[in-house]
Amino acid sequence: MQTAFFTYKQATLCYHKIGRGSKILLFFHGYGQHGKVFEENSRFLQEEYTCYLFDLFFHGESTWGYGEEVLTKDFWNDILKAFLNTQHIERFSLAGFSMGGRFVFATLEAIPQRVEAIYLMAPDGVKTNFWYNLATYPTIFRKLFRSMILHPSYFYSVANVIHKLGLVDKGLIRFAESQMKTEEMRSRVYHSWVVLRELLFDMRKIASLIRKHGIPTNMVLGKFDKVITIKNMQHLLKHLPECKVELLDTGHNGIISQWKP
> Rounded to whole angstroms, what are the CA distances from 55 to 4, 72, 96, 205, 239?
11, 18, 12, 27, 30
What pLDDT shows up at residue 77?
A: 98
Q: Which parts of 36-149 are beta strand (E)?
A: 49-54, 63-64, 92-97, 115-121
Q: Would you say residue 2 has pLDDT above 60?
A: yes
**Residues 209 and 227 both lie in one domain:** yes
**Residues 165 and 224 both lie in one domain:** no
| Residue 142: domain span | 130-195
**Residues 109 and 205 both lie in one domain:** yes
**Residues 32 and 93 both lie in one domain:** yes
At residue 38 the predicted structure's pLDDT band, cuts being 50, 70 and 90, is: very high
Strand partners, 49: 23
At residue 36 the predicted structure's pLDDT band, cuts being 50, 70 and 90, is: very high
What does the longest C-alpha to C-alpha distance in the chain come to? Answer: 52
**Residues 94 and 9 both lie in one domain:** yes
> Rounded to whole angstroms, what are the CA distances from 180 to 170, 174, 177, 256?
16, 10, 5, 22
Q: Determine the Cα–Cα distance for residues 172 and 28; give it in Å rounded to an integer.
A: 21
For residue 96, the domain's CATH number is: 3.40.50.1820
**Residues 96 and 170 both lie in one domain:** no
Cα dihedral sign, 55-57-60-62? positive
**Residues 109 and 121 both lie in one domain:** yes
Contacts for 231 with CB less than 8 Å, ≥ 6 apart: none
Q: For the chain, what is the mean pLDDT?
A: 89
Q: What is the mean pLDDT of residues 40-48?
A: 95
**Residues 10 and 93 both lie in one domain:** yes
Q: What is the DSSP letter of 42?
A: H
C-alpha dihedral over 132, 135, 137, 138, to 10 degrees?
-170
Strand partners, 26: 52, 94
Q: What is the mean pLDDT of residues 81-103?
A: 98
**Residues 94 and 207 both lie in one domain:** yes
Total domain count for the chain? 2
The answer to whether the CB of 167 falls within 8 A of the CB of 129 is no
The answer to whether the CB of 18 falls within 8 A of the CB of 39 is yes
Q: Determine the Cα–Cα distance for residues 258 and 121; give it in Å rounded to an integer.
A: 11
What pLDDT shows up at residue 161?
A: 78
Which DSSP string do the residues of 232-261 spell out, in sequence order?
A: TTHHHHTT-TTSEEEEESS-GGGHHHH---
Summarised one tens digit per residue, pLDDT across range 143-192 is 766 776 677 777 777 777 766 777 666 666 676 677 677 778 878 888 88
**Residues 118 and 247 both lie in one domain:** yes
Q: Determine the Cα–Cα distance for residues 240 and 95; give it in Å rounded to an integer.
A: 17
Q: Which of 158, 176, 195 is the last residue of a domain?
A: 195
**Residues 166 and 228 both lie in one domain:** no
Q: Which of 166, 195, 224 is the last residue of a domain?
A: 195
pTM of the model: 0.88
Q: Which of 53, 41, 67, 72 is nearest to 6 (CA)?
A: 53
Instruction: Return the ∠ at Cα 95 (arms to 92 and 96), rounded to 5°.
Output: 140
Summarised one tens digit per residue, pLDDT across range 111-146 is 999 999 999 999 999 986 555 555 555 566 667 667
For the stretch 243-246, contacts whose Cβ atoms lie closer than 8 Å and that sit 24 or more positions apart, written own/partner, are 243/210, 243/217, 243/218, 243/219, 244/216, 244/217, 244/218, 244/219, 245/218, 245/219, 245/220, 245/221, 246/218, 246/219, 246/220, 246/221
Q: Which of 179, 195, 211 is the last residue of a domain?
A: 195
**Residues 10 and 97 both lie in one domain:** yes
Q: Could you tell me how many residues make up the chain?
A: 261
